[in-house]
Amino acid sequence: MKTKILIITALAGLICVSSCKKALDYTPKGALKSTDLTSPTAVDGLVTAAYAGIGNGDMIGPIYSNWAYGSVRSDDAYKGGGGTGDVGEIDAMEHYNLVNPSLDAFISRTWKNLFKSISRANVALRAVEAISDAQFPNKKIRIAELRFLRAHSYFIMKRLYKQVPIFDETATADQILKTSNTLSDEDAWNKIADDFQFAVDNLPTSQPELARANKYAAEAYLAKVRLYQAYEQDASYHVTNINQTRLQQVVSLTQDVIASGKYSLSADYADNFLPETENGPESVFAIQFTINDGTTDGRLNFEDGLNYPHGAPQYGCCGFHAASQNLVNAFTTDANGLPNFDTFNNSIADLSTQTVDVRIDHTVGIDGHPYKYDPTKPFSNSWVRDPGVYGNFHTMKSQQLATSSSYFKLGPFMGSAKNVDVLRYDDVLLMQAEAYIELNQPAQALPLINQVRIRAAASTGRLKKLDGTFPSNYNVQPYSATNWTQAYARKALQWERRLEFATEGERFFDLVRWGIAESTLNGYINIEKGRRSFLSTAKFTAGRDEYLPIPQSEIQFTNGLYKQNPGY
């Protein structure tokens, strides 16, 4: 008996001691440490992740679709959806009533998402720069691509928020937190331009993987930066000077792109809005989206996911982004096939009798007209969600048919694998035209604008109804050289940009760049509110509403370092 007790005691003592030796370590599973990221494969992975970053936006924090920021805030479109209260943040933008910049949607979330994308570029840049040329023969090219990606995100930020903190991959965390957003416009644009210039200097004219940025994409983007930079603004956002040197840079950069012969306008304008024809000759740089790719739901564009016709049974939600009456009117043409510059908005366009620009049926969902090139399911007023508030027009460029292989429905919303074009050749042509006009060489601009118009006129192949007729009376003609003065050319150019990129989210930024946002938008509201009474309390305040407020949370994160934009 005693022996047994002793044995048990000894055993108990043994386990007491043995348990003291256990290790405390738990190593993370399925993760990498920074030291694991020095191989060429891993470094290339970081570059890939940086590309992925420019597509990592959010329905309520968009970074690649400007439907809310650039289209609803302009005269192109209304918010749509279920009444003004549905996604109130956009309603506030539409009414220029952004009194509460602390909401964690849109303004602050977009800021966050853009910096995520910038940090991916910077993380990859540090890794690429740390690896030798011998190990990584593409080093220079990848650095150039990454700087292109970083500049892309900064460009978007600059257009939205005006004052943003700009730093590069060498900045430490402490330095980043001390980087204010008070750079002058000139310095900020130049920093962005530096990245694109590096890309221009170091990228090949052609990349084996076509989604990567190449030299011409960098040139086109640099041209865009220089174009924005050319319009110099004062503190209250008045355009005080149009810098001729910058315009000259726009001309030569775009000339390079055009002369390369690598790009051309697609035969049909529709090719720009269909997944089957994406990455076509007109696409200079695009954000790639994919489906059936092994990811959770596909790497889809969900930023436009609210914008499908609500009442159409094949979609069932949510009816956002409705085309304005003003935009529809703007598509009307006169007997010469030219825009009704001064009279277009005098009355409601009668689409059964008036002639229109072909692009209306690529842009606007109209009762009885084929929607998204499907004559079997024409758009119907019954598809509209809230006609009493937002009228009967819808938009369609970013949407895809429910039968498309690129279409995916998740919950109530829709995603699409159609790429988002960041730079198209039509933009390159019109940027050059704009530069020539402001350089007072309007004659040089005429063929460029006409090239765009002629393609538009020819883009009717997908527009026929089931009965073989066209839904609208099209009449689009090129401008003639007669009376092609600088003033007229400017008007024509501005009109052409509006129609060519209608509802694509460029309009608001164009208006701000040209310095005509206040006059155009208040003029628009004054007439439009008689048609859509929800706009009755909208008012654009110059010197404030050209830019979004800096998110209040970011000002707090940096302990008041960031300067709020005036008026907020």
Partner 1 sequence: MRRLLLFCSLLILIISEGRAQSRTIKGVVTDNESKPVPGATVVVVETRKGTTTDINGNFSINAENGQTLRITLVGETPILTQITAATQNLNIQFKGSQSALNEVIVTGYSSERKKDLTGAVAVVDLTAVKNNSSGNTMQALEGRVAGLYIEKDGSVNGATSRILIRGANTLGNNDPLYIIDGIPTTRPEVFQSLSPSNIASIQVLKDASAESIYGARASNGVIIVTTKTGGNTEGKVQFQFNSTTSTESEKSLRYKVLNAVDRGKALWQASVNDGQDPAAGYGDIYTFDWNGNYANPVLNSVTPKPFVGGDPNTPVGDTDWQSVLYKTAIATNNDFTATVGNKNSSFDINFGHITNNGLVKFTRYVRNSGSINAITRAFNGKATLGASIKIANSNETLPTKDLGGATTTALAVNLAPTIPVYQKDGTTYAGELGAGYSDRNNPLHMQDLAKWNNTNRLTTFGNIFLEIQPIKNLYIKSNYGADNANYLAKVISPTFSEGALNRTTNSLFNDQNHYLSTTWSNTIRYDFDLNKNNHFKLLAGTEYIKTFTDYLTTYKENFAIQSEDYFVFDAGTGKTNITGTSLGHTLFSQFGRLDYNYNNKYLLALTLRRDGSSRFGANNQYGIFPAASAGWRIDQEDFMKNQNLFSQLKARLGVGRVGNQEIGDLSRYTLYYARYGFTQNQLTPGFWEQYMNIGTAYSLTGANTGALPSGFVQTQLGNPDLKWETTDEINAGLDFSFLHDKISGSFDYFSRNTTGILITPPVASALGEGQSKTVNGASKSNKGWELVLTYHGQQSGDFNYNVTLNFSHFRDKITKLPEDVRPAYPGNLENTIIGHSQFDIFGYKTAGLFQSQAEVDAAPTQIGAGPGRIRYVDTNHDGKIDANDQTWIGTTLPALEYGARVDLTYKKFDLAIFGSGVAGRRGYDPYTFFNNLMHSREDVGPGVFNGWTPQHTNTNVPALTLKDNNNETTRTSDYFIVNTSYFKVRNIQFGYTIQPRAVFTRLRVFVMGENLFTLKSKQYLGPDPERASLDVVPVPKILSFGVNASF
Sites for partner 1 among residues 384-423 (CB under 8 A): 384-389, 402, 405-406, 409-413, 415, 417
- With binding defined as CB under 8 A, does residue 376 bind partner 1? no
- With binding defined as CB under 8 A, does residue 521 bind partner 1? no
Please work out the total of residues on this chain that contact partner 1, with binding judged by CB under 8 A: 132
Residues numbered 178-237 forming contacts with partner 1, rule: CB under 8 A = 179, 209-212
- With binding defined as CB under 8 A, does residue 554 bind partner 1? yes
- With binding defined as CB under 8 A, does residue 68 bind partner 1? no
Residue 364 to residues 54, 76, 135, 412, Cα–Cα distance (Å): 28, 10, 52, 22
Whole-number Å distance between alpha carbons of 445 and 58: 38
Residues numbered 299-318 forming contacts with partner 1, rule: CB under 8 A = 299-300, 302, 305, 310-311, 313, 316-318
Output the smallest distance, CB 196 to partner 1, in A: 20
Range in contact with partner 1 (rule: CB under 8 A) among 215-223, 253-261, 273-281, 363-371: 273-281
- With binding defined as CB under 8 A, does residue 134 bind partner 1? no
- With binding defined as CB under 8 A, does residue 465 bind partner 1? no
Q: Which residues of 250-271 are buried (b: 16+ CB within 10 A; e: fewer)?
A: bbebbebbbeeebbebbebbbb
Residue 463 in contact with residue 364, Cβ under 8 Å?
A: no
CB atoms within 10 A of CB 469: 9
- With binding defined as CB under 8 A, does residue 85 bind partner 1? yes
CA neighbor of 350 nearest in space, from 332, 365, 338? 332
Range in contact with partner 1 (rule: CB under 8 A) among 253-261, 433-441, 492-500, 529-537: 529-537
For partner 1, the binding residue among 242, 337, 552, 566 (CB under 8 A) is 552
Site string for partner 1, 23-52 (x = CB under 8 A): xxxx-xxxxxxx-xx----x-xxxxxxxxx
Give SS3 for 378: strand
Closer residue to partner 1, CB minimum distance, 179 or 444: 179
Closer residue to partner 1, CB minimum distance, 298 or 442: 298
Whole-number Å distance between alpha carbons of 412 and 221: 36
Range in contact with partner 1 (rule: CB under 8 A) among 230-238, 257-265, 298-306, 463-471: 298-306
Residue 252 in contact with residue 390, Cβ under 8 Å?
A: no
- With binding defined as CB under 8 A, does residue 122 bind partner 1? yes
Residues numbered 1-20 forming contacts with partner 1, rule: CB under 8 A = 1, 4-6, 8-9, 12-13, 15-16, 19-20
Place of tokens 């009717």: 460
For partner 1, the binding residue among 116, 464, 539, 544 (CB under 8 A) is 116
The alpha carbon dihedral of 542, 97, 100, 320 has a sign of negative
Closer residue to partner 1, CB minimum distance, 117 or 254: 117
For partner 1, the binding residue among 129, 140, 168, 176 (CB under 8 A) is 176
Residue 457 to residues 141, 329, 333, 364, 494, Cα–Cα distance (Å): 40, 18, 12, 16, 18
How many residues in the chain?
A: 568
Whole-number Å distance between alpha carbons of 255 and 220: 9
For partner 1, the binding residue among 73, 79, 95, 394 (CB under 8 A) is 95
- With binding defined as CB under 8 A, does residue 59 bind partner 1? yes
Closer residue to partner 1, CB minimum distance, 292 or 485: 292
What is the bridge-based pairing of β-strands 374-378 and 370-371? antiparallel
Residue 243 to residues 183, 189, 509, Cα–Cα distance (Å): 19, 13, 18
